[in-house]
Chains A and B, each alone.
Chain A
């Protein structure tokens, strides 16, 4: 057994040293040197650190409390202290007990990285991996773990929303598919999903690695195509005393920017002009009294608190170790405030590991999360922000009687946003339990069998209450009189009464998934020169989900306090229920061989066979192989560049999959209904048509890269170039419309190609004794092209916006995924002659937008639409800088995303809704504007059609994090019983530099819905103070 082997050797070493020092003791005059060695990272003692008198072999090791004491010659002046993974230091002897703090070595070559089904020494890895450590995560204080990947891991693009708890879009190395781009998440060996990261307490994370190329992801086979995020949570060390940590932070979130829309006077003037242009009368004959009116954005934005508290305990005895953690995070929304929008998360984690015998180890990881939240509608035309941007600025927030102000002219969709906030009632509660039970059996020192059962159980409860509401008489969302009594009408002929109702809906959803895996790791070498690490195993798993929803109406008193299906008094007919369920299962075999020749020549081969219930009957199993090569050039004898301390070249090639298909069968739907005798009767129809040949998307990935370390490891650089191709992209073929409206099966008929470069450079140095600098830059770029779609249309539509719904994004052959599709503008028609000279454009008049006749057929119509923008950045850069000076630390993190476009889509464009202030520069006569069209109530030219008029450059640079911390001197805190106490102040999202006119250029709700700003929730600036304590 390894452990005992090392212990034995250590004992032997001690003995030798003892004898050795005893020998010298007799020969020379001696003095005693003693002290304690701690890690600067967490101020915890480092047991087993080596202490050597400089220039001699006299030395010792620290004990379990990090203490050491040994005899040296009286004339000795300097000792050297070293510890694996830490910077080596020299310390002058002072005669006093020494207090030595070691710094963690950035990107240590001795580091092991967690890969699929095991760990690998970083120098032996020939695939492509990005590593984010706990230090980075601690610096950022993310609410969701993915935030820590943004700009910190090269090759990863994260686009976040500001909405509390929202899942961001995470893309690892481009967009090879339009469905299922979420990477696989593996937490402590257990496969989970990106959504599951919402339940993980970032403070529990030890490391987060992103596996990027086929060499590393092929072991996850059909699930590995979008990359893999491997999370390792913290665990205790054996033979250390229990240490506790407590950290707490409190912050205020604020919105830093409002969108420039018309104020009341401007609004009135524009409306007057628009009405007159359409041959109508002045709407506001007197503009004088209007003033600025109501700024609805200021009404809905609030400063909102965010706080986080975590306590952990970790330690271990000879045979076992543990890590316990409890955390609570509370984040209120900046839109509408904490009554209506918040995200609260409580976490409990217990990680436990014990030796049942000297060959058998048992590991039990258990995490529980409780998440509660309320939310307001966002990034759609019905959202609070969209209403704030569109609502009438001449209306007061409240009427004199205290009720919400209403507009007499805006009577559909758009309403007083304060009333909308008031009328939104919902609640979501999630309870989640996940973890693993694992047995490791050391058959031999170098042969281990692991048997692991991982599970996730989630229970989600949701409640939604639609009260009776009043937004003014005649508003089409109004369901009550102003006193909120229901509107009751009597049929004049039959005398039947009909009433409006409030509605309540409750739903319960359960998810359960497990994976059982068993695998063996067998490592051996031949003549201490040929080293092999092998692994083989199998995995079976199951995912299930089920839901029950109940709806009822007539909640007593129209009140949230009583809002529950059980209290609703509506009749039986109004009570409805629904349910759904699914189950999928998979069975897989996997294996890997890693070979290295003296860590100089590296080779690995990985294969996985996946079987899944999702696959078509004719394609039940898939095989995913990959291979990689590496060459550590700096280990060659002929390699003689002193500046280069390490140089490795890597290359890999392999196949991985994308598991985004559904079971295939001809489904009879019982949804169709008809009404006979006034009663609804259920019918049926053939709903879906199967394709038994359908198969997973098979990605071929190529990766080439190198790792280099310069000037005594002060500078490290990792660079990778990748190409991913998918030849059998899953698509719903566009079939003849005369087939009607059933769901037609997906076919493997598309082809995409993504390529790009990931770069990360870091520089670490120490200036003098006290100033340490650590900086790194991550660069990510990818080019994505849809090469082929054999569905007839050669494209599919993605997302759109507005009312009427206008489709905007496309996934189309020859273009990048999710690009904006619409008309190209060519200025404004200045006069009738220009209108006449241009291609025929229905309804165009002077002052209207001139659209480009793309196909030169003399008419502007749908066929003239083309690419008008691309929401995805050309490249992203993250730059992190950390400075430590004595007890002070300082960290700045900047993230930039360059080249993405944003489509401004929050305008409702009713005649009476408010407008973007750009309209103030409108065309009012020849020569007045060549960018902003005239205003008119009769927009016969349809200036509001999807066009590049609405497209803006969404490039931005954000200073995501500024943090200053101070660690109190030990002398001060030891008396209070603390090992470590740090206080800090932090600003998140401190500054955003962008030309985009909206709140926040980071907008995404999925690959084909990126960059459309429908009033999207901005990421707030957060002012935080916090402390962390260890004792």
Chain B
């Protein structure tokens, strides 16, 4: 009977073991992981989530490159005809729905939208003093991301109440861009009503930034009177810096002309190519614009993308200080300094001097960490938008001339270059001025489309098609979205 005893001990042990099935339950706290169900229980959680919502602003280097490459301002460049093929296709206006760069833009902008929506979804979980003003930033950011989406893709998927989860996959469709614009306006008006005029931290959204963006959004819808009234709020709040070129240097960042500026720094010690641009705090766009195989003073070597065309160079009037500030004539520079460089694809001899690798301005993995901020909305832009709004609305050509000429006076350093035209001639002058002032800052293509000049100015541009970019094929395949006309 000894065996019975042994077997019963054995079975008893089995039962003891089976009692501890809790042993295989997992609590994320064991790995020090914060989970969604315990989050948003302190103001600091909200503040952190807002920082997270700003983050995708730093990923938008492609949007900015394409703003000029797709236009008549610059060529794709790069090392060869196959270097970043998505940009090469866009330069040649032969882009199609299978474009990795456009897919990235789409995905990253929607990550921005979703991060703001996650805050909106959790807005009522906790009350704290600074909450309303904080949500002003959230609404601004959501408007910013949607505006970028509409500019690129026209009609897009619109969600405003929650962060999308797996169950939302393949359930949504595009809505007309007018609806998206309406939401953008609502968000910006809400933001304006709660945002402060000034923020203690440079880089945070202010009420004026929201008004400037709203004015721009109106302008893109040809709502000229609304644009005029809205932008008028911002006039006089900022000022133009004396020397045009200074504001694009490191010392000129967040200066008196800066209305909204996307912030970067070279201190994040980022080395990982695989998670760029999301991981780094540096501006990944800058290395693209750098002179190829450069060795010499002031600048640093880069990838020779986004190279200004001879036409852009030739368009400037004599005496316009903006020409040299906008465009680096590498041939002349090399002659003067003994610097050396190599010629990349579609070499023109010019580089984008506004966003260019400058020696010593990066850190860690040099290509990934340029500190250069992106001047998203400058006061000069506001003045020119206001001028256009007052002119095209028919409200006040005088005011339009005034704003236009403020910009020109700074550019030429004198009062001898005033434009005193009216009506559509003034409109044409303002449009031209916009490019002298804003060339190589990522605005040109969208301005040309908005003002109906794209077909005339961009070779290969097909009217009725190229005003917007194609919805990524991957998204169409997965989600069954409709494609834009012509793609």
Contacts and interface: CB of A to CB of B under 8 A. Distances in A.
A737 B21 contact: no
Interface residues of A, number: 107
Given A474-B294, A586-B24, A735 B361 contact: no
Contacts of B250: 491, 493-494, 496
B20 A587 contact: yes
A358 B76 CA distance: 84
B80 interface: yes
Nearest to B85: A942
A783 interface: no
A685 interface: yes
B6 A449 contact: yes
A666 B36 contact: yes
A408 B343 CA distance: 12
Interface in B427-485: 472-475, 477-479
B34 A670 contact: yes
A475 interface: yes
A739 interface: yes
A685 B166 contact: no
Nearest to B250: A491
A733 B165 CA distance: 12
A738 B281 contact: no
B483 to A, nearest CB: 14
B21 A474 contact: no
A41 to B, nearest CB: 40
A686 B33 CA distance: 12
Interface string B31-60: 111111101000001001111111101100
B293 A736 contact: no
A77 interface: no
B111 A583 contact: no
Nearest to A804: B84
For A665, A675, A861, the residue with the greatest tally of chain B CB atoms inside 10 Å of its CB is A675
A98 interface: no
Contacts of A582: 31
For B2, B80, B246, B267, the residue with the greatest tally of chain A CB atoms inside 10 Å of its CB is B80
Q: How large is the interface on B (under 10, 10 to 19, 20 to 34, 35 or more residues)?
A: 35 or more
Contacts of B281: 673-675, 680
Interface in A643-685: 663, 665-668, 670-685
B366 interface: yes
Nearest to A910: B79
A95 interface: no
A611 interface: yes
Contacts, number: 296
B184 interface: no
Given A518-B13, A683-B53, A737-B478, A842 B94 contact: yes
A584 B24 CA distance: 8
Contacts of B475: 736-738
A775 to B, nearest CB: 48
B424 interface: no
B23 A739 contact: no
Given A489-B359, A670-B34, A736-B168, A447 B265 contact: no
Interface in A666-719: 666-668, 670-686, 689, 691
A493 B248 CA distance: 11
B420 interface: no
A426 to B, nearest CB: 14
Contact of A587 (B17, B49, B169): B17
Nearest to B263: A675
A674 B28 contact: no
A336 B252 CA distance: 48
Contacts of A581: 31-32
A741 interface: yes
Nearest to A492: B249
Interface stretch (A7-15, A243-251, A932-940): A932-940
B160 interface: no
A217 B170 CA distance: 40
A249 B166 CA distance: 59
A589 B11 CA distance: 12
Contacts of A745: 166
A988 B295 CA distance: 49
A737 B479 contact: yes
Interface string B2-27: 11001000100110011011011110
A89 interface: no
Contacts of A491: 249-251, 360-361
Given A474-B293, A739-B114, A938-B81, A670 B359 contact: no
A573 B281 CA distance: 15
A683 B48 contact: yes
| A interface: dominant SS | loop
A673 B103 contact: no
Interface string B244-258: 001001111000000
Interface string B222-233: 000000000000
A540 interface: yes
A598 interface: no
Contacts of A738: 106, 110, 113, 157, 159, 164, 172, 475, 479
Contacts of B31: 581-583
A489 B28 contact: no
Contacts of A356: none
Contact of B202 (A412, A476, A676, A910): A676
Interface in A736-753: 736-742, 744-745
B51 A674 contact: yes
A745 B37 CA distance: 17
A944 interface: yes
B96 to A, nearest CB: 6
Contact of B360 (A488, A551, A861, A937): A488
B79 A611 contact: no
A683 B50 contact: yes
Interface in A614-663: 614-615, 617, 620-621, 663
Contact of A686 (B18, B20, B36, B201): B36
A680 B3 CA distance: 70
A937 B82 CA distance: 11
Interface string A399-440: 000000000110110000000000000000000000000000
A411 B292 contact: yes
B164 A675 contact: no
B51 A681 contact: yes
A744 B166 CA distance: 7
Contact of B203 (A674, A804, A942): A674
A55 interface: no
A1012 B281 CA distance: 33
B239 interface: no
Given A411-B301, A581-B32, A672 B52 contact: yes
Contacts of B6: 443, 447, 449
A549 to B, nearest CB: 12
Interface string A251-267: 00000000000000000
Contacts of A509: none
A93 interface: no
Nearest to B202: A677
Nearest to A664: B26
B17 A670 contact: no
Contacts of A675: 58, 203, 263-265, 281
Given A538-B14, A683-B50, A911 B114 contact: no
B108 interface: yes
Interface in A511-556: 518, 520, 536, 538, 540, 551
Contacts of B28: 663, 665, 667
Which 5 pairs between the two chains have the least Cβ-Cβ distance?
A: A489-B360, A683-B51, A493-B251, A740-B111, A498-B360
19 contacts: A474-B340, A489-B359, A494-B250, A520-B10, A583-B30, A583-B31, A589-B18, A668-B39, A674-B263, A675-B281, A676-B263, A684-B34, A684-B48, A685-B49, A689-B165, A738-B157, A738-B172, A740-B164, A741-B108
Given A677-B202, A683-B51, A909-B80, 4 more contacts: A476-B301, A736-B479, A738-B159, A738-B475
